[in-house]
Structure 1
Amino acid sequence: MHTTKRLTGAPGIYLLAANALVSTSAYALNTGTDLNLSMKPIAGGMAGAAYTNPQEVSAALFGNPATLTRFKSLHFELGAGLLEPNVDNTQTNDGYSHTSTSAARNYVVPDVAVSGEVLPGFVLAGGIGVDSGIGADYRTSPVNAGAGLGLGGAGAGGAATLPLVLELLSFSGNLGGAWEVTPDLSLGAALTVGFGLGQLGTTGSTTGLQGLSGNFGGTTSSVHNISLRGALGATYKVAPEWTLSTSIKSPLQYDYHSILSTTVNGYEQWQSVKVAQPLEVTWGVATDIVPNLLLEVDVAWKNWSSAALYQDIFQDQFLTMLGGQYTLDAWQFRAGYSYASSLLLNSPNGSLGGLDGVGTLPLNTAVPGVLARNDLTKVVQTTLAPVVWQNTLTVGLGYAFTQHFRLDGFGAYAFSENTSRSTLALGNYQVTASEWAIGAGANFSF
């Protein structure tokens, strides 16, 4: 059901095109990037390299469930991390330049897991965590649409200023089990119950929009949904000091009802959209052939090109994770590096998950010489989907107070990267983004 409200007035198509970022911003939807195991107290210090030989039960439960056979005694982990993205978007056109800074920061990521052997060789585990999430908030630093065009009451050199808001968070409750088939072979499975929160669009005052009818200052609503996904995994010791692994996770799709408003035939109505975290396949190798030194390399492939909505702005992605841990008495010293292949499509689609439009402006519409069909999604990529960082370094430290209790912590920094997209009349949009994270946790075993 759509809630409708009669609106008055109808703008001309060229004025709409000149103010086209209104549609883009309200439509902007960003999957961000999956957290994988990067925010775990121990795995976070090894750049998330924990799909083959994890050192904590949470990484086993949320990574490769076959590795749960490593945690046969009663294990309990309680941790949290702080994730801080830093995003700047610079809009330029016809000699005009303006930079907008996203205020979406300070994301706390909880992490809880427990496991135990319930039958000989069979381990069960459960836990709660955050599997993905990203946000953008330009309410106090609005983005300029058509900067430098000077159309219809524009202020500060832009055709329109827009207070864009986006927040997508996915919480997971996991239940997993693993079976030690032989001393060398383990198989595992996990079920995820996901709880997603979604908000996108504009909220606050806009300027330079006198020629447009519709509600452009408040197009967003805050909604939620639940979903399910499954995971399968296997590990195999090819030699006492060498272990191989593989795992697969199904997509996690949320159906966000009535999340974004648009105007059709003079009536305002709410639209729904499906958003899916992608199918993921991992494989890896770990070795402790050097005494007291654990080394692991894992690779993850993410099928963004088949994920609902994301396929319009993202491409398939590889993530390579390298991590090491050196044990010295009761101390563990960790370090890691990860590399993510480029995520943003160079030429995105004109559509966004089947959404029709926002306000009176339709999506996927071209105006010769003024607006290309994918100009709006290009702006989406650089304002609300700015996942451009590729290189991350991590460090970690742990101390075992007793054989039953230990504390661990990590720090990570994703180096600043930038990318830009050019449009016809809307100008150029360049995003510069980085992020850092810290976290800690307590591990108990009995």
Structure 2
Amino acid sequence: MNRELFSLKNYQGINSWKLRKMSLLALASAVSPSVLALNTGTDLNLSLKPIAGGMAGAAYTKPQEVSAALFGNPATLTQFKGFNFGLGAAILEPEVDNYQSNNGFTNHSHSLAQNYIAPDIALSGEVSPGFVIGAGVAVDSGLGADYRTQPINGGAGLGLGGAGAGGAATLPLNVELLSFSANVGTAYELTPKLSLGAALTVGFGLGQFGTAGNTTGLGGLSGDFGGTTSSVHNISIRGAFGATYQLTQDVKIGASVKTPLEYNYRNVLSTTVGGAQEYQSVKVEQPLEATWGIAANPTTNLLLEADVAWKNWSQSSLYKDVYDDQFLAMFGGQYNLGNWQFRTGYSYATQLLRDEPNGTVGGFKGVGSLPLDTSVPGVLNNNDLVKVVQTTLGPVVWQHTATAGLGYAFSPKLRLDAFAAYAFEGSASRSTLALGEYAVNSSEWALGAGANFRF
């Protein structure tokens, strides 16, 4: 069967169109990873820090660990006088279930992209009165999916022969994006009440999109559809700027902004759409972010903090095709009882998925021999495939996250901390003209611990 059979311009006959519907569904799934981030979009923010993680990431105004200051609002570094060092790690477990249904048939695919470890290292030193510098390394964002053993079923219920019961194709998706950040930051206490800070991030990103493994029911497609992905990497930089102000003895306010972090993943996805085989490149951009918040000590032993983050996903490369701008509200508290610290937190995220996505994802024109951004009147809207991408992307459809944390100070110089977090299950679904219904249920949990030293 030649490539022209799958060209919508050369469409002839209902049987050929059924094959095309199966093929287009395969394309939509092949560019779709599941999500790694705990609370908003693909960003981790401060949610996996040993102390801030127990306060739902509410640490942009009065953080309790140097890593949260360095990777959050850099102006807060002036709150860490002397020498400070933090070392921690967290395990993140996403639970993503995809459902594809059409003509009474439903297929369930569970992503096996789990057991993510996020290391966290930071230190700071006061080099002169009121002037602090810091440095550290952490994982700041990511995506991941592995459907090699529980593949997405393409063309479910279309009744195509030779593809196994209930569906036309099985798709062994294997997709991953990870971003590691090395930060250097400085802060200066202009007055006893006002501090300003800045940080530079050097990011190292790993990217992979496509299929990897055996594919059934796709014998009519040209090329090796079971191996369209490449594993590539890139580096990038971003900046952060912040300020804090002590309103009263017990109340502090703060604000910060982070510039976008854009990775250019070259030659990451194979396609033969339009002729000879080629590898496509894509830009993936973590968005512009603004935060503001307030922290207060109602009593000597109690700290309460409330922060808000706004993320400009609608202007970020790749994500703008499926995401809207988003607000994240974070509330956290810490109570000191002797050498013990008890923490709790809650975060709320506004809905992230666009109701009407674009017709492409990151400008990809196709995967293998299958095209994106294609429409057939009365049968396929140009963004139907991207609606499928939204639901098989393992989106952050949860909106509520609860956290708890515990710390113990062995001495004024050493404290051990741990936290647990759970993002309550959310769901999303999208309908298409002829490809059927697509839905996702997803949740996440995380556990982390670390040691903080202060001299």
Question: When the two structures are superposed, what TM-score results if normalisation uses the length of structure 1?
Answer: 0.96
User: What letter matches 2:428 in structure 1?
Assistant: T
Task: Select 2:156's aligned residue among 136, 147, 150.
Answer: 147
Mark the runs of 5 or more structure 2 residues left unpaired by the alignment. Answer: 9-16, 36-40
Q: Alignment partner of 1:10: what SS?
A: helix
Report what 1:395 is aligned to. 404
After superposition, what is the alpha-carbon deviation per residue over 1:269-325, rounded to whole angstroms, capped at 9, x for unaligned? 100000000000000000002220000000000000000010000000000000000
Q: Distance in 1 between matches of 2:173 and 2:3?
A: 24
Q: Alignment partner of 1:267: what SS?
A: coil
Report what 1:286 is aligned to. 295
| Contact residue 412 and residue 437 of structure 1 kept, 8 A | yes
Report what 1:437 is aligned to. 446
After superposition, what is the alpha-carbon deviation per residue over 1:214-267, rounded to whole angstroms, capped at 9, x for unaligned? 221111111100000000000001111000100000000000001000003441
Q: Distance in 2 between matches of 1:30 and 1:99?
A: 14
Report what 1:349 is aligned to. 358
User: What letter matches 1:74 in structure 2?
Assistant: F
**RMSD of equivalent CA atoms:** 1.3
Task: Select 2:51's aligned residue among 35, 39, 42.
Answer: 42
| Contact residue 25 and residue 202 of structure 1 kept, 8 A | no
Q: Distance in 1 between matches of 2:394 and 2:360?
A: 15
User: 2:211 aligned with 1:206, yes or no?
Assistant: no
Q: Shift of the alpha carbon at 1:25? A: 2.1
* 1:232-247 equivalences in 2 (<5 Å): 232-247=241-256
Report what 2:29 is aligned to. 25
Q: Distance in 1 between matches of 2:197 and 2:268?
A: 37
| Contact residue 44 and residue 394 of structure 1 kept, 8 A | yes
User: 2:106 aligned with 1:106, yes or no?
Assistant: no
Moved more, 354-363 or 178-187: 354-363
Report what 2:75 is aligned to. 66
After superposition, what is the alpha-carbon deviation per residue over 1:186-219, rounded to whole angstroms, capped at 9, x for unaligned? 0000000000001111111112213322221111
Task: Select 1:225's aligned residue among 216, 228, 234.
Answer: 234
Report what 2:415 is aligned to. 406
Q: Distance in 2 between matches of 1:323 and 1:397?
A: 13
Q: Shift of the alpha carbon at 1:155? A: 1.6
Report what 1:365 is aligned to. 374
Report what 2:431 is aligned to. 422
Q: Alignment partner of 1:139: what SS?
A: coil
Q: Alignment partner of 1:84: what SS?
A: strand
| Contact residue 207 and residue 231 of structure 2 kept, 8 A | yes
User: 2:325 aligned with 1:316, yes or no?
Assistant: yes
Question: When the two structures are superposed, what TM-score results if normalisation uses the length of structure 2?
Answer: 0.94
Q: Shift of the alpha carbon at 1:347? A: 1.1
User: 2:271 aligned with 1:277, yes or no?
Assistant: no
Q: Distance in 1 between matches of 2:34 and 2:22?
A: 24
Q: Distance in 2 between matches of 1:313 and 1:11?
A: 29
Q: Shift of the alpha carbon at 1:19? A: 2.1
Q: Distance in 2 between matches of 1:155 and 1:429?
A: 20
| Contact residue 396 and residue 411 of structure 1 kept, 8 A | yes
| Contact residue 25 and residue 164 of structure 1 kept, 8 A | yes
Q: Shift of the alpha carbon at 1:30? A: 6.6
Q: Shift of the alpha carbon at 1:64? A: 0.1
Q: Alignment partner of 1:202: what SS?
A: coil
Report what 1:136 is aligned to. 145
Report what 2:14 is aligned to. none
User: What letter matches 1:143 in structure 2?
Assistant: I
Report what 1:4 is aligned to. none
Report what 1:258 is aligned to. 267
After superposition, what is the alpha-carbon deviation per residue over 1:4-37, rounded to whole angstroms, capped at 9, x for unaligned? xxx9643233232332122112233677521000
Q: Shift of the alpha carbon at 1:369? A: 2.8
Q: Distance in 1 between matches of 2:115 and 2:4?
A: 41
Report what 1:178 is aligned to. 187
**Percentage identity across aligned positions?**
66
Q: Distance in 2 between matches of 1:252 and 1:9?
A: 38
Q: Alignment partner of 2:53: what SS?
A: helix
User: What letter matches 1:375 in structure 2?
Assistant: D
Q: Alignment partner of 2:67: what SS?
A: helix
Q: Alignment partner of 1:20: what SS?
A: helix
User: What letter matches 1:71 in structure 2?
Assistant: F
Q: Alignment partner of 1:17: what SS?
A: helix
Q: Distance in 2 between matches of 1:33 and 1:27?
A: 16
Q: Distance in 2 between matches of 1:333 and 1:285?
A: 20
Report what 1:3 is aligned to. none
Moved more, 301-310 or 346-355: 346-355
Q: Shift of the alpha carbon at 1:430? A: 0.8
Q: Distance in 2 between matches of 1:175 and 1:388?
A: 33
Report what 2:340 is aligned to. 331
Report the count of equivalent residues: 440
| Contact residue 179 and residue 206 of structure 2 kept, 8 A | yes
Q: Distance in 2 between matches of 1:36 and 1:220?
A: 28
Moved more, 80-89 or 385-394: 385-394
Q: Shift of the alpha carbon at 1:384? A: 2.1
User: What letter matches 1:47 in structure 2?
Assistant: A
Task: Select 1:89's aligned residue among 98, 111, 124.
Answer: 98
